[in-house]
Copies of this chain bind each other. A is one copy, B any other.
Amino acid sequence: MKRRIRMGMVGGGPGAFIGGVHRMAARLDGKIELVCGAFATTHEKNMAMSEELLLPKERCYDTYQQMLDAEAGLPEGERMDFVAVTTPNSTHYPIAMSALEHGFHVVCEKPITMNADEAKKLAAKVKETGLLFALMHNYSAYPMIRQMKGMIAAGAIGTPRKIVSTYDLGWLAGANACKQAEWRVNPKFSGAVACVGDIGTHAQQLIEFTTGLKITEVAADLTTFVEGRLLDDDATIMLKFDTGAKGVIEVSEVASGEENQFKLRVYGSTGSLEWSQMEPENLILRTNDDAMKTLRRGWAGMLDEVKPFIRTPAGHPEGFIEAFGNIYLDFANALLARLEGKPYSTSFPTVDEGVREMQFIEAVVKSTGNNGIWTRI
């Protein structure tokens, strides 16, 4: 019998930006229903969320442990199907691990954990349990990123040679950044890195996701520009890939005046593709012997695998929430297929990409500490 997939949430309390996005994204297609949560760290805030979200008080738990225990004890027709983990980095591992141990599927914010060790343990647990684990690398779910991935795989630009990704934000340019930024530059909550974990991993993941290449070595330079800050707020990372391709990731959170300027260019032997997050409906194809083409979401040339993630015709802009929603849509479809015993092939980022991102971070830190020398992932 058809039903909605039931979601529980950890994090996303009053004022949280990304938690709200998770909820909008999960609602968008009508396949997911939020049924419970441990949204915040105080009872009062959780009760406020109960009221805001029209959830029963008894399913707004004070801790994620309570939520996992209680929900696991509910009848099958009521209990949540999966947990969305939208807390600071430091708690991803214990929450996700415990959720898996309680038999719940997981959607987890990135970066997956505090280190590669934790990530590998999660990966092992996912394998062991056979549960679904989606890592919220939302940018990888933009339709034109899927188009880019498909076109590269199909040889549209020949062999990738040089990959350039830049991701620049201005929000940490000043010493007194907003509250949402605080935990991100605190090693206790963020881990060994700040900027590289927050946005550098987006670049690393999107590069590997779209090209299918693996980064094998990095030569990195982490910088802290704002005095007194304990972690990096800027980085440049040179890349070598398993095929001999080269690349560079440039990221900064002190890029004054930038909103969320994330760009990716892949140069191949016969052509190149360029995508920019702030104009996500475009994918630019250049070659040496034809006019520049701007492929547009929903217009001519869309690959079959992209079509399920298109909601409106070309020229009716889709954006960030819709891309986020694509991860949830894919995840919900996978769970629905399981319920119905049907095959389904997922395309969302998995725990394995979480392992990669942590290994990448560790190599970046090591190279920086070693005078920028090339360092293996």
Query: In the complex, are the beta carbons of B161 and A260 less than 8 A apart?
Result: no
Q: A299: which B residues are within 8 A, CB to CB?
A: 259, 291-292
Partner of A272, one of B4, B17, B27, B256: B256
Q: Which of A73-81, A165-173, A200-208, A342-350 contacts B (4 or more CB under 8 A)?
A: A165-173
Q: Does A311 contact B (CB under 8 A)?
A: yes
Q: A14: which B residues are within 8 A, CB to CB?
A: none
What is the distance, in angstroms, from A66's C-beta to the closest C-beta of chain B? 23
Residues of A231-278 whose CB lies within 8 A of B:
234, 236, 238, 246-248, 250, 252, 254-261, 265, 267-272, 277-278
Q: Which of A36-44, A110-118, A219-227, A355-363 contacts B (4 or more CB under 8 A)?
A: A219-227
Query: In the complex, are the beta carbons of B170 and A260 less than 8 A apart?
Result: no
Q: Which of A88-96, A123-131, A183-191, A317-325 contacts B (4 or more CB under 8 A)?
A: A317-325
Query: In the complex, are the beta carbons of A372 and B219 less than 8 A apart?
Result: yes
Q: Which of A54, A234, A316 has the most CB of B within 10 A?
A: A316
Query: In the complex, are the beta carbons of A286 and B256 less than 8 A apart?
Result: yes
Q: Does A174 contact B (CB under 8 A)?
A: yes
Query: In the complex, are the beta carbons of A288 and B257 less than 8 A apart?
Result: yes
Partner of A162, one of B34, B252, B290: B252
Q: A318: which B residues are within 8 A, CB to CB?
A: 319-321
What is the distance, in angstroms, from A236's C-beta to the closest C-beta of chain B? 5
Contact flag A257-B287 (CB < 8 Å), given A236-B246, A252-B162 = yes
Partner of A250, one of B248, B293, B319: B248
Partner of A270, one of B256, B280, B293: B256
Query: In the complex, are the beta carbons of B238 and A257 less than 8 A apart?
Result: no
Q: Does A313 contact B (CB under 8 A)?
A: yes
Q: A322: which B residues are within 8 A, CB to CB?
A: 319, 321
What is the distance, in angstroms, from A114's C-beta to the closest C-beta of chain B? 25
Partner of A288, one of B173, B321, B371: B173
What is the distance, in angstroms, from A239's C-beta to the closest C-beta of chain B? 8
Contact flag A234-B162 (CB < 8 Å), given A272-B170, A372-B219 = yes
Contact flag A2-B51 (CB < 8 Å), given A162-B254, A292-B293 = yes
Query: In the complex, are the beta carbons of B371 and A315 less than 8 A apart?
Result: no
Q: A21: which B residues are within 8 A, CB to CB?
A: 311-312, 316
Q: Does A146 contact B (CB under 8 A)?
A: no
Q: Does A340 contact B (CB under 8 A)?
A: no
Q: A373: which B residues are within 8 A, CB to CB?
A: 371-373
A289: nearest chain-B partner, CB-CB: B300
In the complex, A171 Cα to B267 Cα: how many Å?
A: 13
Q: Which A residues are within 8 Å of any B CB, using their own CB?
A: 2-4, 17, 20-21, 23-24, 27-30, 34, 51, 53-54, 157-158, 161-162, 164, 166, 168-171, 173-174, 219, 221, 223, 225, 234, 236, 238, 246-248, 250, 252, 254-261, 265, 267-272, 277-281, 285-296, 298-301, 311-322, 371-374
27 A/B residue pairs, CB under 8 Å, sorted by A: A2-B51, A3-B54, A21-B311, A21-B316, A24-B29, A27-B27, A27-B28, A30-B54, A162-B254, A162-B255, A168-B267, A170-B272, A173-B267, A174-B288, A219-B219, A225-B269, A236-B238, A238-B238, A252-B267, A259-B299, A260-B313, A260-B315, A260-B316, A277-B317, A290-B293, A293-B293, A372-B373
Known contacts A3-B54, A312-B319, A373-B373; 6 additional CB pairs below 8 A are A157-B256, A219-B221, A252-B267, A256-B286, A317-B319, A319-B322
